[in-house]
Amino acid sequence: MKSVLLTLARAAIGEAIGISQDVSLQNMLDENPWLEEEGAVFVTLSLNDNLRGCIGSLVAHRKLYEDIIYNARSAALNDPRFKPLSKEELGHIKIEVSILSKPEPLIYDTIDALKNRLRVGVDGVVLKSGSNQATFLPQVWEQLPTFELFFSHLCQKAGLQSKCLEQHPDILTYQVKEYKEV
């Protein structure tokens, strides 16, 4: 499964930047029918252990292989934080594919209750307040290991004040199956 997901993502990026790939999508689908099931995926690119692009879907709304192809291309070319990936960079990036479970609301009445219900390193978090929304995959806990740091950055990513939890935003959690190149 890991090699199929990563090969598909790398081939999608390669073709998007004009480097022909020797990968048959039809053969891949024939040999891996699970790719035709609906799925939500984030594709993360890193270069020299630094984030180089990350785009994904929070909710399954198309076939898994379609979501991988779309989000891999988008992470490489359309992440607004980065310039489009160059042909020269393709051989140096590391790709990570994260398949998400369905986000579920996490009910809490106090910040302490939220802190006690979240599983650090396990739960990805979606924060919603009005029209503002942001998410961090569970892997982000590695860079932002404390509850306070994690949510300060997540609030800011959503375009809110760093202490936005005081306004009791909606919180949803999900888990991922993570597959990455080494």
**CATH number of the 2-100 domain:** 3.30.700.20
Element (H, E) at 156: helix 147-157
The third-level CATH classification (topology) of the domain covering 104-175 is Dna Ligase; domain 1 (3.30.1490)
What mean pLDDT comes out for the span 127-131?
Answer: 97
Q: Which amino acid is at 147?
A: F
β 132-136/124-129 pair status? antiparallel
* Per-residue tokens: 180: 């990455």
Please give the pLDDT value at position 21: 84
Domain segments of the chain as ranges? 2-100, 104-175
For residue range 12-26, list pLDDT tens digits in order: 999 999 998 889 999
pLDDT in tens, 40-96: 999 999 999 999 999 999 999 999 999 999 999 999 999 999 999 999 999 999 999
Q: Which residues are CB-neighbours of 148 under 8 A, at least 6 positions away?
A: none
User: How much is the mean pLDDT over the chain?
Assistant: 96
Using CA atoms, how far apart are residues 137 and 132, in angstroms rounded to an integer? 17
Residue 165 vs residues 32, 92, 110, 119: alpha-carbon distances, Å: 43, 38, 9, 17
